[in-house]
């Protein structure tokens, strides 16, 4: 996939948005979020309006920029490979992993159920 044009990257950064280069997920890296947001339809502009109070003049043109970037929805994204460096623009969680398979969770109850 093509790299993000510099002008588009700067515009996205001004809105605390970033496109993960490998997964092509749209990430809101505002300190309150730090997670992927759906690139479908008006979801990104609604997110910026509702969660961050960003006014329309600053959001204007966002949908057109995003439409050119071949973004993916988070539902189909593969997890990062083990040993991948931590990405500071994403929220990191402590969690639990199974000693016998690749199962992982941040929920203590779920890991206990997995072992039982």
Query: What does the pLDDT look like over 6-61, one tens digit per residue?
Result: 999 999 999 999 999 888 999 999 999 999 999 999 999 999 999 999 999 999 99
Q: What is the model's pLDDT at position 3?
A: 82
- Tens digits of residue pLDDT in 80-103: 787 788 889 999 889 999 999 989
What residue spans define the domains of the chain?
A: 6-76
Handedness of CA 62, 11, 76, 107 (dihedral sign): negative
Mean pLDDT calculated for residue range 65-87: 85
Residue 1: predicted pLDDT = 67
Cα dihedral 46, 52, 57, 58 sign:
negative
Please report the pLDDT score of residue 107 as a whole number.
95
């Amino acid at each position: 996939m093509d790299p993000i044009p510099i002008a588009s990257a700067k515009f996205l950064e001004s809105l605390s948005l970033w496109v993960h280069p490998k997964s092509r997920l749209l990430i809101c890296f505002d300190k309150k979020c730090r997670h992927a947001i759906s690139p479908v339809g008006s979801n990104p502009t609604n997110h910026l309006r509702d969660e961050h109070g960003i006014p329309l003049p600053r959001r204007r043109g966002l949908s057109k920029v995003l439409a050119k970037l071949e973004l993916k929805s988070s539902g189909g994204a593969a997890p990062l490979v083990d040993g991948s460096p931590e990405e500071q623009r994403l929220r990191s969680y402590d969690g639990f992993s199974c000693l016998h398979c690749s199962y992982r969770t941040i929920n203590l109850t779920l890991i206990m159920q997995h072992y039982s």
